[in-house]
Amino acid sequence: MTSELLQQVRVIDPVAKSDRIADVEICDGVIKAVQDNISEWSNDTQVRDCRGLVLGAGLIDLYSHSGEPGFETRETLSSLLEAAAAGGFTRLCILPDTMPILDNLAAIALIQQKRRELTNPLPKMYVWGALTIGVQGQQMTELAELAKGSVGFADGKPVANLALLRRLLEYLKPVGKPVALWCCDRQLVGNGVMREGTDSIILGLPGNPHFSETTAIAAVIELVAAIGTPVHIMRVSTARSVQLIAQAKAQGLPITASSSWMHLLLDTKSHYNYDPNLRLEPPLGNPRDRLALLEGVRSGVIDAIALDLAPYTYEEKTVAFAEAPPGVIGFELALGLLWQQLVANGQWSALELWRSISLNPANCLQQTIKEICPGNPAELTLFAPQLSWLVEAKTLKSLATNTPWLGQKITGRVVQTWVT
């Protein structure tokens, strides 16, 4: 039997909507006690002074890219899950654009078998089943079959054919599983590599207009209004998108949405050093977009923060900005950076942050998380908000290092994760 006592830790419970100082005892992966002060414990209990530390519900990532299978030089399942655990994540969902693509039960069974072969206490891993097959995504997958092995349905690319998207939503309505869509019109994107605006003109980089996203979101909203299938809108990145989603929710449409953590922290002002690690898709928004996203997440119009991790090798990312593949890592960095920028300076409460990166992602996945109370599983994250550390390849669990914070010292780090 293993027993741990965390003394005077700040307990953030988004389910109970509580934020308080308490002693927490954990025994064999189960919460044994949560009290103002625990004065008695067994001789074999590991006692830890946790003043200044934060204990919260385990973090949940809605969607990220895995290197394995197919691109193990970028990231293996083992390194991906170890990085997630090091960042406080207890559940993560993998997008289907691996190699082979997760468009059939055999491919899903293969990646789940690889996960079962990893014996360390690592996060739970769920898989999004592909919506479409083919290079152009012009054909539906066997949706009913994929539903047996997937957390829901998504593609790593936009569904460009609206007639096909209509049929997909009609077929999926009785299935009852989450459907996540990336709303983007590739024809309107053109060769754009950063958000169109004053900064893109000054930097001489091709601009991607905000309406490449909003026209696609408007089309999805119309389909949802007509068909009624609940939809999760991924990768929201513009102020106008937040407005459209707010209007749809006000009309009672079954829509949820998420935005990437990077789009909450940075905007086009960060592009002036042409760092290829900031080449993202969708691109970072203009300052007005970032402020709208922050308010959208805080208010609940945007339900959740997603990591949307995309690992790449050093060689793939060490090219000119416009030539770099879009994507960034961040499991081990996200909580510390979000805390410092949003909570430490008083913009958000700790509960607002934890709700958007733990409770709400679970709700979007039609899952639940438990209160931090006796008898419940210890699916928990212990976080040191004042701990400074240097982001280097040797201090990261991830194989990939494509992050703009590489070589920099940041404040805030997860010190332990309990996975059930």
Residues noted as catalytic: 308
CA distance 7 to 261: 31
Joined together, the tokens standing for residue 250 give: 């006000």
CA 391 to chain centre: 20
By the 8 A CB rule, do 257 and 245 touch? Answer: yes
By the 8 A CB rule, do 302 and 357 touch? Answer: no
Among 281, 400, 264, smallest CA distance to 330 is for 400
CA distance 243 to 308: 22
Phi and psi angles of residue 381, each rounded to the nearest 5 degrees, phi first? -130, 125
By the 8 A CB rule, do 69 and 110 touch? Answer: yes
Residues 6+ apart with CB under 8 A from 167: 140
User: Cα angle at 84 between 88 and 116, to 5 degrees?
Assistant: 120
CA distance 57 to 418: 10
Among 11, 106, 91, 7, smallest CA distance to 49 is for 7
Whole-Å CA distances, 379 to 59, 155, 384:
9, 29, 17
Sign of CA dihedral 144, 149, 150, 156: negative
By the 8 A CB rule, do 96 and 155 touch? Answer: yes
Q: Whats the size of the chain, residue-wise?
A: 420
CA distance 21 to 14: 15
By the 8 A CB rule, do 181 and 154 touch? Answer: yes
Task: Dump the DSSP string for 167-192.
Answer: HHHHHHTTT---BEEE---HHHHTT-
Among 198, 203, 185, smallest CA distance to 241 is for 185
